[in-house]
Structure 1
């Protein structure tokens, strides 16, 4: 499951609607909505994101947060390290090889480190 899929499922459950009903209301198939929630589909189109924001009446910070989660939820990532330092290539390869073995605490620590670094730039 992706961060976007997890949040989408939580919003849908808070509203008390089924995948089938929500899918019908926003004009997508129930299978597509299920795939989004389970992380089997990548970033939804901007039009679909807008429909989801409208469906849940999300505005301002809540809307920005959901859009950011969608952008950070591509389940099949390709990292091109050509032209970067050897350390960048090593990090990308280690992460690719080990990400499935990392516990949630370690994952959260890595995310926090990278987010802090991005904010400093």
Structure 2
């Protein structure tokens, strides 16, 4: 499941909206929305995210958060370490091998370390 998919499902559940009803309102298939929710489809288009924001009446911070989640929801991320230090390439490869074993708590710890990197390096 992707971050966008998890939030979409949460919004639907909170408001009692079925997948079929949301799909009809957005003029997409229920299968497509299901694939988005389960991470079997990549990032949704900006247009679809806008439609979801409008459908659920999300504004300001909530709408921007959904946009951010959509940008961070590519289920098959690719890392390019060409020209970087060998240690960075080694880390990227190790993370690729071990990603299926990373728990949500461990992911939060890794994210916290990344958040402390100097901004010039981001």
TM value normalised by structure 2: 0.92
TM-superposed CA distance for 1:45, in Å, is 0.8
TM-superposed CA distance for 1:15, in Å, is 1.1
Residues 49-77 of structure 1: per-residue CA shift (max 9 Å, x gap): 11011011111100111111111110011
Matched pairs, number: 120
Structure 1 residues 55-64 or 99-108, which shifts more?
A: 99-108
Q: Any stretches of 5+ residues in structure 2 without a counterpart?
A: none
Residues 49-107 of structure 1: per-residue CA shift (max 9 Å, x gap): 11011011111100111111111110011111111111110111010000111222111
Q: Any stretches of 5+ residues in structure 1 without a counterpart?
A: none
Partners of 1:21 and 1:83 lie apart in 2 by 49
Extract structure 1 runs of 4+ deviating beyond 4 A.
none
CA RMSD between the two structures: 1.2
TM-superposed CA distance for 1:3, in Å, is 1.0
Give the equivalent residue in structure 2 for 1:30.
30
Give the equivalent residue in structure 1 for 2:6.
6
TM value normalised by structure 1: 0.93
TM-superposed CA distance for 1:112, in Å, is 2.1
Residues 1:15 and 2:22 aligned together: no
